[in-house]
Amino acid sequence: MSSDSSTLTSHGRDTLNNNCSCSCKNSINAEIIKAEALRLGFSACGVAQAGPVSEEHADAFLRWTADGKHAGMAYMTNYTDLRFNPCKLMPGARSVVSVALNYYPQQLLGADQYQFAFYAYGKDYHDVLRARLQQLVASTPLADAECRICVDTAPILERYWAQHSGIGWIGTNKNLIVPHIGSFVFLGEIVTSAEFSQYDAPMTNHCGNCRRCFDACPTKALTSSPSSSSISPSSSSISSSSPVSPSSSFNNSFTASSLDARRCFSYLTIEHRGEYTDEMLRLFSESMHNNADGCTSHPVRGCNLADETEIATNGETAEMIHDNSPKHYVYGCDRCQLACPHNRNAVPTSVAEFAPSHQFLSMKPTDWHQLSREDYQNLFRGSAVKRVKYEGLLRNISLFVDEKMG
């Protein structure tokens, strides 16, 4: 495992301070890439030097899987050598470009409807994000370099690289939080042989001593165990000016909390295959009878957020955050994100593909109870919900139909 020590590359780059001391005739100005990313609709873009992830981060990941917290996601234990170093994922890689794309919905399902995680409202993000990243490569000097586009399809620690690219930080709820935008963002990466004349500084953690996501989680899937990792339950500022943190506190920000997927509804309702066990049913039942206190009317409630004064309220988002009523989630779970005060700045996405259909928004519980395979195919054509398949969605809906939860 490598360390984070400062070394000079063949281009004379000081890897600790992200500055290049040589002429770098072939290096790219990252501002060109960032400007084009913004033009293409991305919310944030940053660049980091490719190389091994920090030893602390890799160790936390290994502890997470050793503890079994990855549940049935056996693929998480594959290709760890590639996962821990994008230079092995793509030999010759010198940089990682990270982007974030806002998916906060333009319209929301009502509180009396069955809930889907926001990311699943529109078309499959894999296709949308990949197409935009291909455009980003084609319309910038990256076109002359070797590039590998990653959209949740390659063994790469995307939140680690997003934080290292300075576009956000990994929050206690294990999602990447982008200042002034929030965590309802998709992440994508371009691993590239291109070098940049300057790299972004990693972003510091701005969770402070807030614990609202802990409190909002109905199953206590989030813990502050020291043996932790930075894996997100679900699934970034143009931030060359991001503050630089001392490496120790920066690394601690990655590993201060842990997510147990075995208790997480995002995992259970999407990734888990087959019928639910009695233990899983008990978790669902408890969540229905446990009115999790995700938030109160005050944005910080005694928490010492580092940038408390920057957190503004935004009508619809704030309303969702303040709604403590239990939600009948049948696909995914957004509770720990809705509780996060940094999402009060969330604004609806302008990406047309992420707009929910009228048919989807108008579905009542009785419609879901009668869902045919044909209805399912029509509703979710080109959607990420296809991952759970018709039978899986019926299984989730049946939790509420058959009152299996007691």
Q: Is 321 in the site for ligand SF4 (CB under 6 A)?
A: no
214-217: long-range contacts (C-beta < 8 A, 24 or more apart)? 214/172, 214/257, 215/292, 215/293, 215/294, 215/339, 216/292, 216/293, 216/294, 216/295, 216/335, 216/336, 216/338, 216/339, 217/292, 217/335, 217/336
CA distances for 114 relative to 246, 332, 338, 377, 381, angstroms = 44, 11, 16, 18, 19
Q: Which of 96, 221, 321, 346 binds ligand SF4 (CB under 6 A)?
A: 221
* Of 133 and 207, CB closest to ligand SF4: 207
- Beta pairing partners, 97: 47, 190
Residues with Cβ within 8 Å of 85's Cβ and at least 6 positions away in sequence, in order, are: 2, 51, 52, 53
Burial class of residue 72 (count of CB atoms within 10 Å of its CB; 0-12, 13-18, 19+): middle
Q: Which of 13, 212, 262, 344 binds ligand SF4 (CB under 6 A)?
A: 212
Least CB distance to ligand SF4 at residue 179 (A): 11
Q: Is 336 in the site for ligand SF4 (CB under 6 A)?
A: yes
Site string for ligand SF4, 84-113 (x = CB under 6 A): ------------------------------
Least CB distance to ligand SF4 at residue 237 (A): 16
Helices (H), 20-165: 30-39, 55-66, 80-83, 86-89, 125-138, 158-164
Element (H, E) at 150: strand 147-150
Helices (H), 48-117: 55-66, 80-83, 86-89
Least CB distance to ligand SF4 at residue 72 (A): 15
Nearest-CA neighbor of 175 among 242, 215, 231, 214?
231
Q: Is 231 in the site for ligand SF4 (CB under 6 A)?
A: no
Residues with Cβ within 8 Å of 58's Cβ and at least 6 positions away in sequence, in order, are: 1, 52, 80, 84
Q: Which of 213, 256, 393, 397 binds ligand SF4 (CB under 6 A)?
A: 213
Q: Is 222 in the site for ligand SF4 (CB under 6 A)?
A: yes
| Catalytic, out of 4, 59, 152, 367 | 152
Is 124 a known active-site residue?
no
Tell me which stretch binds ligand SF4 (CB under 6 A): 12-20, 73-81, 217-225, 361-369: 217-225
Residues with Cβ within 8 Å of 274's Cβ and at least 6 positions away in sequence, in order, are: none
* Of 69 and 212, CB closest to ligand SF4: 212
Least CB distance to ligand SF4 at residue 364 (A): 23
* Of 136 and 162, CB closest to ligand SF4: 162
Tell me which stretch binds ligand SF4 (CB under 6 A): 23-31, 104-112, 264-272, 274-282: 264-272
Cβ atoms of 133 and 190 closer than 8 Å = yes
Q: Which of 95, 266, 345, 396 binds ligand SF4 (CB under 6 A)?
A: 266
Q: Is 173 in the site for ligand SF4 (CB under 6 A)?
A: yes
* Of 33 and 259, CB closest to ligand SF4: 259
Q: Is 164 in the site for ligand SF4 (CB under 6 A)?
A: no
Total residues interacting with ligand SF4, rule: CB under 6 A: 25
- Please give the distance of CA 89 from its chain centroid, rounded to a whole number: 21
Q: Is 233 in the site for ligand SF4 (CB under 6 A)?
A: yes
Backbone dihedral angles phi then psi of residue 198, each to the nearest 5 degrees: -150, 145
Residues assigned a catalytic role: 152
Q: Which residues bind ligand SF4 (CB under 6 A)?
A: 171-173, 207, 210-213, 216-217, 219, 221-222, 233, 259, 264-266, 333, 335-336, 339-342
